[in-house]
């Protein structure tokens, strides 16, 4: 995925994995299924990395600010940007979209679960509105990251960070 989705070829995957095309397609029916599996593995890896990094913060230093700072780091990760490339491709490729949909849906559910757990750890009170608030934070960050790919605006990140941090106490009950 380092060369973008257009540069992602099964030939290159087979070369790097020292597999034949036949072996690869015994596990993945189509290239889109392979891409969905790669994105699923990436999302699992990012979540694990996030949890490990958050757990490494001393309990008395954990805050909404530190949780958001880690999330910003992940949003800036080139691996995630490769997944965003696939999101863009899926807009005009219904087969890719069908392959990615369950992976992305599962990832969003996992983000909500992690956010709910984190919120409880930070002393907040998760409720039915928690999912909407977490989605607001994630989707606003994703939107800014996508926008910055075409029109970088470093000040926009600072403004959004400040907005999310100022909203956190009211929205999360912290």
Distance of CA 173 to the CA centre of its chain: 25
CATH of the domain at 35: 1.10.357
Structural domain for 135, as ranges: 30-172
- Residue 147 resides in a domain: yes
- Residue 118 resides in a domain: yes
Q: Is the pLDDT of residue 104 over 70?
A: yes
Rounded distance between C-alpha atoms, residue 31 and residue 96, angstroms: 9
Rounded distance between C-alpha atoms, residue 85 and residue 117, angstroms: 29
- Residue 25 resides in a domain: no
- Residue 45 resides in a domain: yes
**Banded model confidence at residue 102, pLDDT cuts 50, 70, 90:** very high
Mention every residue, 6+ apart, whose C-beta is less than 8 A from residue 73: none
Enter the tokens of residue 118: 């984190």
Whether the Cβ atoms of residue 156 and residue 147 lie closer than 8 Å to each other: yes
- Residue 19 resides in a domain: no
pLDDT of residue 128: 58
Report the percentage of the chain scoring pLDDT > 70.
Answer: 87
**Banded model confidence at residue 69, pLDDT cuts 50, 70, 90:** confident
- Residue 100 resides in a domain: yes
Rounded distance between C-alpha atoms, residue 85 and residue 83, angstroms: 5
Rounded distance between C-alpha atoms, residue 126 and residue 118, angstroms: 10
Among 134, 137, 24, 150, CA closest to 85: 150
**Does the global pTM surpass 0.95?**
no
């Amino acid at each position: 995925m380092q060369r973008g989705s257009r540069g992602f070829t099964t030939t290159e995957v087979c070369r790097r994995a020292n597999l034949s095309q036949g072996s690869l397609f015994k596990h993945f029916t189509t290239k889109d299924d392979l891409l969905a599996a790669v994105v699923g593995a990436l999302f699992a890896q990012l979540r694990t990395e996030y949890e490990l990094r958050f757990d490494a913060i001393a309990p008395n230093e954990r805050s909404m600010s530190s949780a958001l700072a880690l999330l910003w780091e992940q949003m800036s990760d080139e691996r995630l940007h490769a997944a965003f490339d696939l999101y863009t491709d899926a807009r005009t490729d219904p087969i890719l979209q069908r392959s990615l949909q369950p992976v992305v849906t599962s990832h969003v559910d996992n983000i909500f679960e992690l956010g709910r757990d984190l919120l409880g750890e930070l002393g907040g009170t998760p409720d039915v509105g928690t999912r909407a608030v977490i989605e607001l934070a994630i989707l606003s960050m994703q939107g800014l990251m996508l926008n910055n790919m075409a029109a970088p605006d470093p000040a926009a990140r600072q403004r959004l960070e400040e907005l999310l941090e100022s909203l956190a106490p009211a929205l999360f009950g912290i």
